[in-house]
Amino acid sequence: MTNNTERKTYIDRFLTQFFRGRPYQVEVVTGDASFRRYLRVHKESESYILMDSDPSKVNNDPFVELNASFSQVGLRVPEIIATDMTHGLLLLNDLGCEHLADLLQSPDRLKYYKSVLALIPSIAKVAYSPYMKPYDSAFIQQEIEIFEQWLLAGWLDYELDDYQNAQWQLCKHQLVENMLSQPQTTMHRDFHSRNIMRDEYHWVLIDYQDAVQGPVTYDVVSLLRDCYFRLPDDEFSLLHNESYHILTSAGLLNGMSYTDYQRYFDLTGLQRHLKAAGIFIRLLLRDNKGGYLNNIIPTLEYVIEVAERYECFQWLATWLANEIMPLIDNKLNTAK
């Protein structure tokens, strides 16, 4: 593991070599929910983005390899201009600062969402890569257990009793089965408003390095049930219907009915949002990043709202609403 002084030395050497000794300026853009951080580099009238990704913490090979895979099907991703893979430095073209998240109050919001949904068939057709982790039963269950390990045990100091544990295990099993029984396609896996950038008139995908082959509804859930923004109900219904027709027209649903699609979508959302709530707390406890705490309640409200519609998840909805949410409220109010 390298320290900040060492990383600054690596960065200065890398940029000095790339610019052949000509002067440049560096400003911090942002970190993200991983161990990466991003710097904007100015050289005269040109600007670039430097991804600083310590290889002792992050494997950067998937970012490079999947960049090519996404590009091959016509998807726009950051251009990799230069690399120092030994020290985890990648110089990218500067895509600006505008994300879909910055356009959500626009009167053209629906138009934007429809055009982004239209990208999903191309993502689905990205060829399998050995850099994609197996999205199997064990991995899906492990994702759900992030909620149990970090939010319940780690943050709330909450321990399930025997009955609760039996119900929880049943819920996990049903969610895993739901995800494995869908048509499996390549999915971005973090396809939400903060990971979709607007470059002039084109959408550009970032944070694609965790792409896997998994349930066909996953990226639609990520977009339409965004943890950071809730669509109005009428717009959600319209876009959900639109997504079904887009995936059907692309031959990705294997003749699935809309009713079955709705169920697959809903239960996939349960898995994703339980995982996301756990990740928000992991970011706090492990990485000292508390900026996601306000997203926990809305994310779990999605889970409760959806779980209430299905008899087999009534226990989950009741348990979260009556036991876990009050504990979270108390924890958040105490932290203020």
Question: Domain ranges in the chain?
Answer: 4-93, 100-335
In the block, tokens 């994702």 appear at 143
Predicted confidence (pLDDT) per residue in 119-147, tens digit: 999 999 999 999 999 999 999 999 999 99
Alpha helical stretches, state H, 51-161: 61-72, 109-117, 120-124, 137-146
What does the pLDDT read at residue 32?
A: 60
Q: What are phi and psi of 264, to 5 degrees?
A: -55, -45
What does the pLDDT read at residue 201?
A: 82
Q: How far apart are CA 202 and CA 119, in angstroms?
A: 11
Q: What are phi and psi of 98, to 5 degrees?
A: -95, 120
Sheet holding 89-93, edge to edge: 25-31, 37-43, 46-52, 89-93, 80-84
The terminus-to-terminus CA distance of the chain in angstroms comes to 33
100-335 homologous superfamily: Aminoglycoside phosphotransferase (APH), C-terminal lobe (3.90.1200.10)
DSSP calls for 195-258 = GEEEETTEEEE---TT-EEEETTHHHHHHHT-TT----HHHHHHHHHHHHHHHHHTT-STT--H
Rg value, the chain, Cα? 21
Count of other CB atoms within 10 angstroms of residue 50: 23
User: Is the pTM value of this prediction over 0.75?
Assistant: yes
pLDDT confidence of 1, banded at 50, 70, 90? low
- Asked whether 229 and 101 are in contact (CB, 8 A), the reply is yes
Q: How far apart are CA 201 and CA 195, in angstroms?
A: 16
Span 4-93: which CATH code? 3.30.200.20
Predicted confidence (pLDDT) per residue in 32-87, tens digit: 656 889 999 999 889 999 999 999 999 999 999 999 999 999 999 999 999 999 99
Q: Is residue 179 pLDDT above 90, yes or no?
A: yes
Q: E strands along the chain, which residues?
A: 25-31, 37-43, 46-52, 80-84, 89-93, 184-187, 196-199, 202-205, 212-215
- Asked whether 242 and 118 are in contact (CB, 8 A), the reply is no
Tell me the three state secondary structure of residue 27. strand
Q: What is the mean pLDDT of the chain?
A: 95
